[in-house]
Amino acid sequence: MKFTANVREFFGETGNLAEFTGRFFSIGIKPRFEIKELFNQCYLIGYKSLPLIALTGFIMGLVLTMQLRPSLVTYGVESQLPVMVGIAIVREIGPVITALIFAGKIASSIGAELGSMKVTEQIDAMEVGGTNPFKYLVATRVLATTMMLPVLTVMGDAICLFGAYIGVNIRSVTSFHLFFTQVFHSLSFGDLLPAFTKTFFFGFAIGIVGCYKGYNSTKGTQGVGNSANSAVVLSSVMIFLIDLLAVQFTDILGLN
């Protein structure tokens, strides 16, 4: 009985999320647009997340290089360290780790913010005042996460590669020009396009899940906490599922 109830709850939640996503495409992207609020959310979601993304990226590049070096030295291919690190960061590690960090910060923030507005009836007050809360609160945040995550991923990859350059020079001496020449010569269009494209889907998933959980929050302050927590968990799962589909799709197209 409990298993049946969990399955029913899972499919019910999936259907509600799909309906919420359909509502975004049917209502949220139609005029009139909340341009001022959109730019405000881009600043809060994008610019405010940059320090955390930059710090995480730098440490990740540094640690990845230091962990890979002993194995490459064993097989006598230490010179290929910049190539391996560059491909790993740009194709997979950079976009996924950046999206997970972004989800932990932004999905929880959106879920808690909209959840608190829901339980304190501020969303109902906006409807009474003649403002469309879905367009003002949901559409702007989803569009902001969709646009800002690709930008943050590019910046995070660049900082991560710089951290890798520092890691390479801890045990040896490699010039800045030589390191990045090796990195970019090893990358192709098939590496860059899928990695960059899937970040838009990551950003959309994070935004829509965070808004869905917050917008449908119940049970007072406890519900706000549950919304923030479940938003992070569900958006993280969505990131891995989208990444899996992206890898399969690029493999079918022969971009791998």
Closest CA to 196 of 87, 72, 95: 95
195 vs 249: CA distance, rounded Å: 12
**Which residue is listed with tokens 């994008």?**
46
Using one digit for the tens of pLDDT, what is the confidence trace for 75-125?
877 788 888 899 999 988 999 999 999 999 999 999 988 888 888 888 888
User: What mean pLDDT is predicted for residues 12-34?
Assistant: 84
Show Cβ contacts of residue 20 under 8 Å, excluding neighbours closer than 6 positions: 208, 211, 212, 215, 216
Percent of all residues in the chain with a pLDDT value above 70, rounded to a whole number: 96
Dihedral angle over CA of 156, 162, 168, 174, nearest 10: 150
49 vs 156: CA distance, rounded Å: 11
Count of CB atoms within 10 A of residue 50's CB?
Answer: 15
User: What mean pLDDT is predicted for residues 206-224?
Assistant: 85
- Segments in 174-219 forming alpha helices (H): 176-186, 189-215
pLDDT of residue 254: 67
pLDDT of residue 54: 94
**Average pLDDT score over the chain:** 88
Query: Binning pLDDT at 50, 70 and 90, where does residue 60 land?
Result: very high
Count of CB atoms within 10 A of residue 245's CB?
Answer: 12
- CA separation (Å) from 184 to 62, 82, 167, 181, 247? 18, 9, 18, 5, 21
213 vs 256: CA distance, rounded Å: 35
pLDDT of residue 1: 60
**Contact (Cβ atoms closer than 8 angstroms) between residue 95 and residue 199:** yes
Residue 228 above 70 pLDDT? yes
Using one digit for the tens of pLDDT, what is the confidence trace for 139-193?
999 999 999 999 999 999 999 999 999 988 888 888 889 899 989 888 888 788 8
Query: Binning pLDDT at 50, 70 and 90, where does residue 29 land?
Result: confident
- Model pTM above 0.85: yes
pLDDT of residue 101: 94
Count of CB atoms within 10 A of residue 125's CB?
Answer: 12
Q: In this structure, what token pair is assigned to residue 138?
A: 């949901």
- CA separation (Å) from 85 to 118, 139, 153, 155? 45, 37, 16, 16
Q: In this structure, what token pair is assigned to residue 67?
A: 């962990």
Interhelix angle for 189-215 vs 220-253, to 10°?
Answer: 160
Greater pLDDT, 64 or 222: 64
Nearest-5° Cα angle at 96, 215 to 254: 115
Residue 222 above 80 pLDDT? no
Closest CA to 90 of 240, 194, 167: 194
Q: In this structure, what token pair is assigned to residue 105?
A: 């910060």
pLDDT of residue 239: 95
- CA separation (Å) from 248 to 77, 115, 124, 241, 256? 30, 36, 43, 11, 9
User: What mean pLDDT is predicted for residues 234-256?
Assistant: 86
Residue 223 above 80 pLDDT? no
